[in-house]
Amino acid sequence: MMDLLQGLNQAQREAVTATEGFVRVIAGAGSGKTRALTRRFAFLVNELGILPGNILCVTFTNKAAAEMRQRIHQMTGDNDTGIINTFHGFCVSVLQEDSHAVQYPKSFLVLDNADIDAMLQIIYEERGLTLRNMTFSAARDMIEVRKLFKDPKYYEDMITLPLDTLREKYEQATSTSDIIFYGYLYQEKKCFGLDYNDLIKFSLYIFHEHEDIRRKWQQRLEYIMIDEFQDIDQLQYELMEVLCGYHKNLFIVGDPDQTIYTWRGANVKYLLDFDKAFPGTKTIMMMQNYRSTPQILAAANALIDKNQHRIKKDMIPTLADGAQVVCHFAQTQEAEAAWMAGEMQRLHEEGMVYRDMTVLYRAHYVTRAVEEVLLREKIPYTIYSGVPFFGRMEIKDALSYLRMIVYQDDLSFRRIANVPKRNLGKRRMAFLQEYAEQHGCSLYRALQDNIEDALFKGTRARQFVTLIQSFAEDSEGRPVSEVLSAILNASGYEAMLRTEGSQERLDNLAELKQSVYLYETTCGEECTLEHYLSHVALLTNGDTAEQGDKVKLMTVHAAKGLEFPCVFLCGMNEGIFPSRKVRTLPGMEEERRLAFVALTRAEQRLYLSEADGRNFDGSPRYPSRFVLDIGRDLLAFTAPPQEGLIREAEDYIAGTQRFFPAQDSDAVFSVGQRVRHLMFGEGTVLEVDMDNGAHLVQFDDMPTPRKISFRARLDRC
């Protein structure tokens, strides 16, 4: 026993040994909650004799689950590490064991977005719908909203209705959303497919309808532990309530200041009100921080304290004093990246290995300038939960279009001849391959030679050849940036991304265009397509160092739960971090919590940086309010910030904040909510448009719906 409790502080010991009843742990960043969770599991097994198979431990990522299994195996020596899984992973286990209760086979299919889009394609073709009716991205969102809010009992149709009846419901639907929704349910049932919402809904259905199965699982799960409880949503909460209904041993861990998934349905009230829902709850506060220096914690505490809706608490440092938090204001993105690279080289010369350095950012497109500089300076790096900028699908596709103009090479041809879809599938590509081999020519030449063949009738092969030909003839002397924009438009590539709703990919393309323009203006000679493609070929060569010792690059969301000796948090600009999409006060508080998560990943050194200049839309860039929130006294600036810039930033922030709605957590209503407007009276929320900051409301006394800005007052009926 002593081994398991050794080295734990008082709060951690309490968390490990408080095994019975309802226990809530409020755990600050870096307070050792994973350590407490794994020790508690081992304590239950080694000291109390509980069988691992009777313990459920819920994490929020598969990666966290895998790490926990490994740690527990090391402590217990048992290959049976219980049920350590995500909520969705656990539901897959339930359904595999008890799928007979919903007349589904054990070999049901778990659907991802690509599967859903393939089903949507079938529905659109059957019912003559186009992407003008609804994009696939919007359709996926609509289906999710209907499943969660508008038709929350949809699963009963999937479970109880015969396939033919479900088909009839689909065929009789007249509105676009009904067609898509019932068509999707039909397609799901037809192939025994379940999406993420279905997994939990079906599990809950089984537990509600079959007392024997519910009791079996309740009795099996003697102890339940749930990590990251601040990120739990309504369905997960309902599942948890059912599962702990017999033994009533439930242990939860969370930090309200790290709630960063409300856009996915997370609701921090489940953590905050846990003691009200479960009387007799024991609450343990774990506030001692073992990760970060006092200087880093002071900056993080100052930042999060600006949020109004939180439990007031400060993390308590346990480490010795370290370096001050450094802040750098750069003139351009390239200068920002160059400064970061310079600091990395200096730290490396001082003895810090590259793998101890991590670059964090709000969105993937921010990495372009960073990657270019790291490649140039031969600083090795790797991208976590993402693909290197020049290795991303849309970037490789765009460059392949440029290569086709110049080289008409087979690699590029294979990559983009059928992107967007031109009906040049496997059979036709195999024909071209055979012809090219027989005649010793390129695939593109093979297509040109056979364009009149009956095989290519009904395809868009001719349009592709015409596209490449016209650009090959007309591109000489034109700026590369202009050619790139023109071919992405003329090929239909950007239109394809827009219809898919792939905003991140479009942002990456905008960043690529910006980088091409910058290259043109700085290369000091006439910049031809060939010049640029040679330049890019060097950038795409990532073999810059031995395996292992590499700087890590990742989004802040990907860094959740991780820690790093040295963190560079870049792109600290208004419109980047916080995101330009934030339109409400609750949304801004969530962004601030995300920034708090970023700061608290750092152990020894923390660098913040931003770049002046212009955004994609031509608007000026300002330093992030989160830098200003921390305060000058807690930051070491590389150069004194310009007073004029700070004042402009403050004025800009005040101006944007002025238009945020006065309401806080009630500013955004859910679909189906009844609301009252001062002039229009009562109505029902049909949609929530987060990008434009508005509710679509059908008012009772008006023939058509209206989009009402978040800044306008709406009251709950």
Closest to 295 (Cα-Cα) out of 2, 636, 577, 555: 636
Name the CA radius of gyration of the chain, rounded. 28
Q: Report the DSSP beta bridge partners of residue 252.
A: 24, 226
Distances (CA, A) of 457 to 416, 428, 450: 19, 11, 11
Asked about 603 being catalytic, the answer comes back as no
Q: Report the DSSP beta bridge partners of residue 283.
A: 24
Q: Look-up: residue for tokens 């109390």?
A: 48
Asked about 228 being catalytic, the answer comes back as yes
Asked about 227 being catalytic, the answer comes back as yes
CA dist., res. 383 & res. 458, Å (int) = 41
Per-residue tokens: 265:
């349905």
Q: What is the 3-state secondary structure (H, E, C) of 671-716?
A: CCCEEEECCCEEEEEEEEECCCCEEEEEECCCCCCEEEECCCCEEE
Helical ranges in 322-366 per DSSP H: 333-349
Helical ranges in 523-584 per DSSP H: 529-539, 556-559
CA dist., res. 506 & res. 514, Å (int) = 12
Asked about 258 being catalytic, the answer comes back as yes
> Are 337 and 369 in contact, with CB atoms under 8 Å apart?
yes
Q: What is the 3-state secondary structure (H, E, C) of 264-328?
A: HCCCCHHHHCHHHHCCCCEEEEECEECCCCHHHHHHHHHHHCCCCCCCCCCCEECCCCCCCEEEE
> Are 58 and 225 in contact, with CB atoms under 8 Å apart?
yes
250: left (phi over 0), alpha (psi -120 to 50) or beta: beta
Number of neighbours of residue 587 by Cβ within 10 angstroms: 21
CA dist., res. 297 & res. 319, Å (int) = 10
Number of neighbours of residue 321 by Cβ within 10 angstroms: 9
The helix (run of H) or strand (run of E) holding residue 57 is strand 55-58
Closest to 666 (Cα-Cα) out of 685, 652, 680, 653: 685
Find the catalytic residue in 227, 231, 394, 494. Answer: 227
Find the catalytic residue in 98, 195, 198, 228. Answer: 228
Per-residue tokens: 136:
């696939």
CA dist., res. 678 & res. 671, Å (int) = 20
CA dist., res. 261 & res. 258, Å (int) = 9
Task: Break the chain down into helix, strand, coil percent, rounded to 5.
Answer: 50, 15, 35
Find the catalytic residue in 76, 258, 459, 604. Answer: 258
- Using CB atoms within 10 A of its CB, is residue 78 exposed (0-12), middle (13-18) or buried (19+)? middle
Find the catalytic residue in 13, 17, 19, 34. Answer: 34
Find the catalytic residue in 33, 362, 368, 428. Answer: 33
Find the catalytic residue in 167, 214, 583, 601. Answer: 601
Number of neighbours of residue 615 by Cβ within 10 angstroms: 16
Instruction: Please identify every residue annotated as catalytic.
Output: 33-34, 227-228, 258, 601
